[in-house]
């Protein structure tokens, strides 16, 4: 059994939101943006700085895993998924780009309203680190994540990173204790 509660998560801001009509004439709400922006540093719990390297998602995306878009990392609130073609996710030169067509459900409509008001405007992603580079030469250790196993992207109320954006259109942070302990021993040596 996969322990999804052990996933690491990182969050980013959503800047814009619009709605659009689909090709079949129906109106649907689509949220589009970046769940991760490359080379954007954030401090993780005061222990170290972290950034995501370009290419970090490419191996995971090439496996064609059925990634989901969730509300607030909650697997009970699925907003879209790759296998249903309601989530499009790709890595480009800027970061991890996504587009999700929201379902016509109570929780998705509540989310749409909160986003329209500006109350919720961030996104995030859940992953396992599979490769990283570590730099202890500065005052604060830097962890550069070079490869991840991606499980989900989420629309969330609180970010860790500040550089994402998304638009709505019509027409648990689990840090690695081993990495933290290693960083501390390197800084103290």
pLDDT in tens, 10-40: 766 555 444 555 666 667 888 888 888 899 9
CA angle 88, 128, 46 (to 5 degrees): 110
Q: What is the mean pLDDT of residues 141-157?
A: 94
What mean pLDDT comes out for the span 60-71? Answer: 95
List the one residue out of 164, 159, 165, 161 whose CA is nearest residue 72: 159
Q: How far apart are CA 106 and CA 60, in angstroms?
A: 31
* Burial of residue 54 (number of CB atoms within 10 Å: 0-12, 13-18, 19+): middle
CA distance 44 to 111: 27
In the prediction, which pLDDT does 3 show?
A: 53
CA 133, CA 39: separation in Å to the nearest integer? Answer: 13
4 C-beta neighbours (distance < 10 Å), count: 12
Say what the pLDDT of residue 68 is.
97
Residue 3 half-sphere exposure toward CB, CA atoms < 13 A? 5
Q: How confident is the model at residue 179 (pLDDT cuts 50, 70, 90)?
A: very low
The more confidently predicted of residues 109 and 186 is 109
- Residue 180, pLDDT above cutoff 50: no
pLDDT for residue 27: 72
Least confident of 9-23, 97-111, 114-128, 175-189: 175-189
Question: What was the pLDDT predicted at 19?
Answer: 52
């Amino acid at each position: 059994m996969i322990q999804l509660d052990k996933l690491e998560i990182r969050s980013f801001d959503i800047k814009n939101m619009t709605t659009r009509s689909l090709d079949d004439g129906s109106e649907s709400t689509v949220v589009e943006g970046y769940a991760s922006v490359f080379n954007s540093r954030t401090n993780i719990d005061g222990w170290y700085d972290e950034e995501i390297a370009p290419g970090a998602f490419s191996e995971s995306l090439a496996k064609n895993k059925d990634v989901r878009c969730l509300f607030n990392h909650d697997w009970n609130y699925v907003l879209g998924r790759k296998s249903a073609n309601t989530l499009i996710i790709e890595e480009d030169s800027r970061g991890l780009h996504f587009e999700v067509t929201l379902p016509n459900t109570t929780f998705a409509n509540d989310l749409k309203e909160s986003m329209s008001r500006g109350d919720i405007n961030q996104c995030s992603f859940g992953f396992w680190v599979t490769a990283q580079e570590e730099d202890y030469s500065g005052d604060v250790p830097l962890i550069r994540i070079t490869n991840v196993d991606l499980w989900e992207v989420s629309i969330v109320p609180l970010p860790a990173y500040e550089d994402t954006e998304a638009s709505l259109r019509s027409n648990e942070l689990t840090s690695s204790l081993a990495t933290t302990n290693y960083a501390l021993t390197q800084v103290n040596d």
